[in-house]
Amino acid sequence: MHLEIGKFEVKDVQFGSKTTFAEGLLTIHKEEALQVIYEDERITTADLVLAKPTEPVRITPVKDAVEPRCKVTGESVYPGVTTKVLPVGSGRTHALKGVSVLAVGKHWGGFQDGLIDMSGPGAKQTPFSQLLNICLVADTNETFEKQEQQKKNTALRLAALRLAEYLAEPVRKKVPEEVERYSFPPLAKRTQELLTLPAVVYVLQLQSQMLEHGYNATVYGHDAGRMLPTLITPNEVLDGAVVSGSFMPASSKISTYQHVNNATLKRLMKEHGTTINFVGVILSNLNVQLEEKERAALMVAQLASSLGAEGAIVAEEGYGNPDTDFILTYEQLEQTGVKVVGITNECTGRDGRSQPLVDLSAKADAIISTGNVSEHLKLPPMERVIGELEAVARDGNAGGWNESIKEDGSVEIENNAIFCADSSTGDHYKTVKDY
Amino acid sequence: MKKAVHYLNQFFGQIGGENQADIAPQLHEGHVGPGMLLHQKLAPVAEVTHTVICGDNFIGSKTDEAIEQVLTELETIEFDIFIAGPAFLAGRYGLACGALGKAVQERFRVPVIASMNEENPAVEMYAHELYIFSGGANAAAMRKDVKKVADFSKRMLQADKLRPAAEEGYFSRGKRLEAFDGSNRTGAERAVEMLLKKLNDEPFHTEMPMPVPAKVAIAPAVEKMEEATIALVSSGGIVPKGNPDHIQSASATKWGKYEVDALYELEAGSWETIHGGFDPSAANQDPNVIVPLDAMRELEQEAKLGSIHPYIYSTVGTGTTQAEAARMGTEIAKDLQRANVSAVILTST
């Protein structure tokens, strides 16, 4: 399998009379772009607002982030979600780099929504402060969930995917400045040279704790909670096979943007052929019933051992209850003889003195820690808010509470509320240390 | 200029050796002995205005009395920081620095900074309470250790952001909080590097040392169920409609106690879950699936248990830290003990 991702570095974004990309400048014809949004009758009002790094801007409630991409050699960027189920992972995809489309609620937030500060002390909490953000600020007629703490945010999240595809159309036929190439030869046809290197798998535990459809991460459009752990190629993940869901507190969440830019996967692909023989991705899940957790852990270990894996990196999209899936899987792999490094965040409380994970194991001796969900943050007021600040305090945000917003516009929240701050895909510098 | 109080034992306080170890605490104006170095190193941010000296034996054998005397003396002066030692490997001196430092911190709400060798038994006892800097084994390290303590004290007094324990040089206070990787390496780079080390059997350092889990002994079985009073306690967030106690939907710090004595079951519409971490539809349709009052009433009618405690207890167990959960659990347990409850059925979600 051979995938090429053609990169177009976006240096600035502006609105104009035609949607174009030239010399690093992305120009958006707003009215035309909004027509793409309004294709879904559930969207009642929509606007596009730009937020750039270092600006005094706060964005919330953010529901997902998407990288503008188009599939040059096919029809689908997010198969099973924006189109029917089609293959991805090979051929040519073009991507606008340095820019992301954010799905932002005009009013309503929820448990899982995030906050991004483009400057000030909050900016360093999340890598999304470093991108040119095209904010789709919209409201929908999904009244059934307006007062619900748990929201599927279906219309808004789908609209962001459509908008991202629309924005990448101008580069479909252009020659990219740089092409990333990912070759993933079939396992049974690997060279002797590759076979002498230690085989490594990447295990991605997707968030799938909700029983009802529409909240969980999806794989080719299929609810990750309703699958057994599945072997998939890195190419497919980097080319849109996985789309983010709408459940986990924001800091623990993996956005759609991060799935196609999965930093750990890219790093493993870079090592592939030099220090390791990368044998693939096991997409697993995070379930609520013990039997499901045990079954998933067994299946991951079985797949890894069938592949001859000697090493594994396990990433957990969540914290709390999912820690048990993480530890069970870690233990099963180690028991099978696979050496594991885990990537997860922790929940040590505001004073840092609580047990980091819900479940513990002496076998879990190699963990990369990406944040403390309950880190207490006081963020100064921002000149401009995109979305609605009240959502953090009013709508049951996992990191907010009734008194989170102060009169001067400053906020007091837990890290839980910061959008994709504890990137378990490994694209951030944040960690947790002893004080 | 900020004011520092310095603590020394009889030896470093220039009073004498072991034969003077029984002297009672005394407060001196200005600096004494190694306090001069501390005074110089604290400049221009702070000065050592007073020195407390006490014999190691006195404070070791009459700890409460010694501490009370020192606290009473300190009431008469104003100060911003309390610095103890360095105590190096001296066990009694270290314990004195720890016990007194902890008391001063609690009474006066000022930072307390100490310095000891890692082998000093006081490190294990007080590292979670105070900032104890890792110091040398004996007075040969005085200059170096005092400088470390003074530099940190100055930054603390100027309200600078403090760095992680390993970077600053103090022993971990058992607090795990966020930091940014100093060498700007992403999680991905750190993970792959750690995996390669683990694969090659090279030493590596986990970023999350596994705590040893606290084991709770299982209580003995209830012998006579027909005489037992059973209580229902839940972390599933079941509360009277409207959530009268404003229990948080995640990261809860509150628990509620609700009378159910007159109820046969928890009716949908009157009770609801405010738990933010699971799909609430089944629980809202029938709150008894989380708090099984209906099933318990049946058992009560069949005389399979003595009685059901007239109150249910509820909190939310998603994102709730282990420390908060332990505190709430202890509070609820006390309430249950007062009511002579025999056993508890604890349900989650």
pLDDT tens string B48-78: 999 999 999 999 999 999 999 999 999 999 9
**How much of chain A, in percent, has pLDDT values that exceed 70?**
100
Name the DSSP class of A111. T
Mean pLDDT of A414-427: 97
Residues on chain A touching B176 (C-beta within 8 angstroms): 346, 348, 352-353, 356, 372, 432-435
Pair (B97, B242) in one structural domain? no
Residue A73 has pLDDT above 90, yes or no: yes
Residue A398 has pLDDT above 90, yes or no: yes
Distance CA B220, CA B72 (A): 48
CATH code at B95?
3.40.50.2000
Residue B251 has pLDDT above 90, yes or no: no
Looking at B168, B183, B215, the residue that finishes a domain is: B168
Nearest chain B alpha carbon to A215 = B279
Count of CB atoms situated within 10 Å of the CB of B86: 31
Looking at B134, B168, B202, the residue that finishes a domain is: B168
**How much of chain B, in percent, has pLDDT values that exceed 70?**
100
**CA distance to A89, A191, A308, B64, B192, per residue, from A185 (Å):** 12, 9, 16, 73, 21
Mean pLDDT of A317-345: 97
Q: Nearest CB to A414: which of B191, B213, B251?
A: B251
Q: What is the pLDDT of residue A226?
A: 97
Nearest chain A alpha carbon to B183 = A429
Whether chain B has a CB inside 8 Å of the CB on A144: the answer is no
Pair (B14, B112) in one structural domain? yes
Q: What is the pLDDT of residue B321?
A: 80
Domain spans in chain A, listed from the N-terminal domain onward: 2-417
Mean pLDDT of A308-326: 97
Distance from A333 to chain B by nearest Cα, in Å?
14
Q: Nearest CB to B207: which of A339, A340, A369?
A: A369
Within-domain flag for B212: no
Kindly determine whether residue B250 and residue A374, on different chains, have CB atoms separated by under 8 Å.
Answer: no
For B56, the domain range is 2-168
Q: Nearest CB to B190: which of A364, A368, A371?
A: A368
Q: What is the pLDDT of residue A11?
A: 98
Residues on chain B touching A213 (C-beta within 8 angstroms): none
Kindly state the tokens that stand for B37.
Answer: 């170095």
Distance CA B256, CA B10 (A): 54
Distance from B188 to chain A by nearest Cα, in Å?
4
Residue B181 has pLDDT above 80, yes or no: no
Within-domain flag for B143: yes
Lowest mean pLDDT among A152-156, A249-253, B326-330: B326-330
Distance from A364 to chain B by nearest Cα, in Å?
7
Pair (B16, B113) in one structural domain? yes
Nearest chain B alpha carbon to A366 = B206
In this prediction, residue B349 has a pLDDT band, given cuts at 50, 70 and 90, of confident
Q: What is the pLDDT of residue A131?
A: 98
Averaged pLDDT score across all residues of chain A: 97
Pair (B19, B149) in one structural domain? yes
Distance from B210 to chain A by nearest Cα, in Å?
6
Window 183-222 of A, Cβ < 8 Å to B = 198, 200, 209-212, 215
Pair (B23, B153) in one structural domain? yes
Kindly determine whether residue A288 and residue B207, on different chains, have CB atoms separated by under 8 Å.
Answer: no
Pairing, β A2-9 against β A91-97: parallel
Q: What is the pLDDT of residue B184?
A: 86
Q: Nearest CB to B211: which of A200, A215, A355?
A: A355
Mean pLDDT of B86-100: 97
pLDDT tens profile A257-298:
999 999 999 999 999 999 999 999 999 999 999 999 999 999
Nearest chain B alpha carbon to A346 = B208
**How much of chain A, in percent, has pLDDT values that exceed 90?**
99
Residue A81 has pLDDT above 90, yes or no: yes
Pair (B19, B137) in one structural domain? yes
Which residues 6+ apart lie within 8 Å of A284 measured at CB? A203, A204, A205, A206, A229, A296, A299, A300, A325, A329
Per the DSSP assignment, residues forming a β-bridge with B80 are none
Pair (B50, B146) in one structural domain? yes
Q: Maximum CA pair distance of chain B?
A: 80
In this prediction, residue B322 has a pLDDT band, given cuts at 50, 70 and 90, of confident
Mean pLDDT of B67-90: 97
Pair (B271, B146) in one structural domain? no
Mean pLDDT of A4-8: 98
Mutate to test the interface with A, among B156, B178, B253 (most CBs of A within 10 A): B178
Within-domain flag for B88: yes
Q: Nearest CB to A343: which of B187, B249, B324?
A: B187
| 8 A C-beta contact, residue A144 and residue A45 | no
Distance from B165 to chain A by nearest Cα, in Å?
5
Q: What is the pLDDT of residue A210?
A: 94
Q: What is the pLDDT of residue B216?
A: 84
Averaged pLDDT score across all residues of chain B: 95
Kindly determine whether residue B196 and residue A275, on different chains, have CB atoms separated by under 8 Å.
Answer: yes
Q: What is the pLDDT of residue B214?
A: 75
Residues on chain A touching B187 (C-beta within 8 angstroms): 263-264, 343, 368, 370, 423-431
CB burial of B194-206 (b: ≥16 within 10 Å; e: otherwise) equals bbbbbbeeeeeeb
pLDDT tens profile B239-249:
999 999 999 98
Pair (B15, B158) in one structural domain? yes
Q: What is the pLDDT of residue B331?
A: 96
Split into its structural domains, chain B has a count of 2
Pair (B23, B158) in one structural domain? yes
Pair (B258, B147) in one structural domain? no
Whether chain B has a CB inside 8 Å of the CB on A326: the answer is no
